[in-house]
A and B are shown apart, each in its own frame.
Chain A
Amino acid sequence: MAKPVQSNTGSGLLRRLASNAPVLISGSILLALVVIAVAAPLLAPYDPYAQDLSRRLLPPIGYAGHDPAHFLGTDGFGRDYLSRLIYGTRISLLIGFSVVLIAGFIGTTIGLLAGYFGGKVDQVLMFVINTRLAMPVFLAAMAVVVVFGASLTATVLTLGFFLWDRFAVVIRSTTQQVAAQDFVLAARSAGFSNTRILTREILPNVLSSVVVIATLEMGSAILLEAALSFLGFGVQEPTPSWGLMLSQAREQLFFDAWLIYLPGLALLSLVLAVNIFGDGLRDLLGARDRT
């Protein structure tokens, strides 16, 4: 049974949030990463694009030959590694947010319409959802690269147009539950238009589910972008994407293995924080049985 959304607002939610260690910790890490992304120009010691070929592949602190001017060393183009890592936070979060925004909009709209109208509308939309599920995201993204070439925009649009299935499936069933409740029936008998009922009565009550799925899907989007960029099918050089940094680090694997540690660790930490935060949010908002 869907719990009414009212009980989740206000001080009760805050109190539960404060006593939930995983959500607090992952939320703090996430907040810190967002701050790093926003304040990247202030935090990065160097321009992440500035090359200095005379200072290539300087090792990070703790390694022989470390140069104190570059705390985490430099990459194969002599670019400051710390600065590129900091700016990489921006790219990952930017892509995560944009993808989830597009996918969330498409999926929530489909879910609302299918769940509210039912019948033929539902059948058609379920077919659309099932057809989407039959198309593998990663292969589709590669096919798009073949046709349109690889770029940050292509990556965001492809992932955005593909990762909406979970929104649609969950919001559809949540909408079905909400639409059967008294206040919606009352709004209907009062003669309100479908648009008004959907946006004013139902949408606010499914929003917590949307937020939970958005968080969890953001983790997938970030990992998919990194994998695509790693293969050269995502974000392109010289943009500092963690996946792309790992791809370049791999070429130096035999000589400078340290290059692979930090971009991967950054990626793992971000996705871990996002996923744990999403899981915690789901429990807090009482949406477990829906998502």
Chain B
Amino acid sequence: MTSFIIKRLASAVLTILVVSALTFSLAFLAGDPAIAIAGKDSSAADIARVREYYGFDRPVVIQYGEWLAKALTGDFGRSFHYQQSVADMLASRLPITFGLGVAAIIFALAIAVPLGVAAAAKPGGLIDRFALGLSVLGQAMPTFWLALLLVVLFGLTLRWLPISGNATWQHFVMPTIALGTFALPALLRITRAGTLDALRSDYVRTARAKGLGAGKVLFRHALRNVMIPLVSISAVQLGALLAGSIVIEQIFALQGIGALSYDATLRADLPVVQAITLIVAVFYVLLTLVADIVNAILDPRIRESW
């Protein structure tokens, strides 16, 4: 077990090193970053000053080492455009994106769990077909188009909900529905498959034989079986959810991380783009690391495959 954890940990560290090196090298693929910051029309002296100020005149390996060491302590440098600490900018915008993400996941789970369990209770039945249709539709639905349709219906036609900003909770209703629909298909499929698995298992058969009611069997035993995959898929989908959040925050003018990455891309504000990419990558690596170790504890066969 210890050797598995060490190997898995080493692989995770190596992955983070490779991803961070790629992220860091973006700055140099873009051409001379000093010219980019100072502006194309700047004098040679100005460019030299910028180069020295940001430390671009030193060897690349040293710059990378320093950048990574700082990044690991939460210091991502200064935004080229806003001249502000990237970490501060991220911290001030995190609550909105985090809140939206959590709301979207809760919205998706509130539909996926009851519907998935009901679908699995009677495979091929009416509810099952509806669930399948919903997940197929959700998967093909362009999130940003759904968001626009919601704006037209609830914002412009019915005038029930505000269409931009983040002043009140009402401002989060449409973004939550749009982003939640994006997360729904995967959660629905996992719930249905997990419940089906559980219903075929021995312990559920035993529970049924003991005379436990169908509803109790479903929600007490089957659902428990679905919890771990549900949590891990929600976690691993973080990157995808943030990607969805970029479009949604942009449409509804929510000032979260997604809107920030849109803004940073538009302004070629590299330190911000690098920081967001690296944070999402590290999160993914850590979450899969934890999931793999938990699974290895539960299932010894996984350890041997390493």
Q: Which residues of A are in contact with B by a Cβ distance under 8 Å?
A: 127, 130-131, 133-140, 142-143, 145-148, 219, 223, 226-227, 230-233, 243, 246, 249-250, 253-254, 257, 260, 263-264, 267-268, 271-272, 274-276, 279
Chain B residues with Cβ under 8 A from A276's Cβ? Answer: 136
**B148 and A139 within 8 A (CB):** no
Nearest to A264 among chain B residues (CB) is B145
**B29 and A147 within 8 A (CB):** yes
> Known contacts A127-B14, A142-B261, A142-B273; is A257 also within 8 Å of B152 by CB?
yes
**B140 and A133 within 8 A (CB):** no
> Known contacts A136-B281, A138-B246, A146-B26; is A127 also within 8 Å of B15 by CB?
yes
Told that A138-B246, A143-B273, A275-B136 touch, could you supply 13 new A-B pairs with CB distance under 8 A? A135-B19, A136-B242, A142-B273, A146-B26, A146-B273, A147-B29, A226-B144, A227-B247, A246-B142, A246-B148, A249-B148, A253-B148, A253-B152
**A272 and B281 within 8 A (CB):** no
Nearest to A223 among chain B residues (CB) is B142
Among the stretches B63-71, B82-90, B263-271, the one at the interface with A is B263-271
Interface residues of B in 135-157 (CB under 8 A from A): 136-137, 139-145, 148-149, 151-152, 156
Nearest to A265 among chain B residues (CB) is B145
**B142 and A253 within 8 A (CB):** no
Question: Which of B19, B243, B251 lies at the interface centre, i.e. has the most chain A CB atoms within 10 A of its CB?
Answer: B243
Distance between B241 CB and nearest chain A CB, rounded to angstroms: 10
Cβ contact of B144, chosen from A135, A140, A246, A253, cutoff 8 A: A246
B18 in the interface (beta carbon within 8 A): yes
9 sample A-B contacts, Cβ–Cβ < 8 Å, listed by A number:
A130-B11, A133-B288, A145-B265, A226-B142, A231-B247, A246-B142, A253-B151, A271-B139, A276-B136
Cβ contact of B141, chosen from A135, A232, A249, A268, cutoff 8 A: A268
Interface residues of B in 106-142 (CB under 8 A from A): 136-137, 139-142
Distance between A103 CB and nearest chain B CB, rounded to angstroms: 17
Q: Interface size of B by Cβ–Cβ distance < 8 Å?
A: 50
B240 in the interface (beta carbon within 8 A): yes
B35 in the interface (beta carbon within 8 A): no
B91 in the interface (beta carbon within 8 A): no
Q: Which residues of B are in contact with A by a Cβ distance under 8 Å?
A: 11, 14-16, 18-19, 22-23, 26, 29-30, 136-137, 139-145, 148-149, 151-152, 156, 239-240, 242-243, 246-247, 250-251, 261-262, 264-266, 268-270, 273-274, 276-277, 280-281, 284-285, 288
A135 to B277, CA, bound (A): 7
**B145 and A136 within 8 A (CB):** no
A130 to B247, CA, bound (A): 26
Cβ contact of A137, chosen from B151, B243, B274, cutoff 8 A: B243
Chain A residues with Cβ under 8 A from B156's Cβ? Answer: 253-254, 257
**A268 and B277 within 8 A (CB):** no
Nearest to A126 among chain B residues (CB) is B11
Nearest to A263 among chain B residues (CB) is B145
**A231 and B240 within 8 A (CB):** no
**B268 and A227 within 8 A (CB):** no
Nearest to B22 among chain A residues (CB) is A135
**A139 and B261 within 8 A (CB):** yes
Distance between B237 CB and nearest chain A CB, rounded to angstroms: 11
**A134 and B152 within 8 A (CB):** no
Distance between B156 CB and nearest chain A CB, rounded to angstroms: 7
**A267 and B142 within 8 A (CB):** yes
A69 to B239, CA, bound (A): 46
Nearest to B250 among chain A residues (CB) is A231
> Known contacts A136-B280, A268-B142; is A147 also within 8 Å of B26 by CB?
yes
Nearest to B148 among chain A residues (CB) is A260
> Known contacts A147-B29, A250-B148, A264-B148; is A135 also within 8 Å of B142 by CB?
no
Nearest to A273 among chain B residues (CB) is B140
Chain A residues with Cβ under 8 A from B280's Cβ? Answer: 136, 139
Chain A residues with Cβ under 8 A from B149's Cβ? Answer: 260, 264
Chain A residues with Cβ under 8 A from B148's Cβ? Answer: 246, 249-250, 253, 260, 264
A193 to B197, CA, bound (A): 43
**A131 and B19 within 8 A (CB):** yes
A89 to B26, CA, bound (A): 33
Nearest to B143 among chain A residues (CB) is A227
> Known contacts A136-B277, A231-B247, A264-B145; is A142 also within 8 Å of B265 by CB?
yes
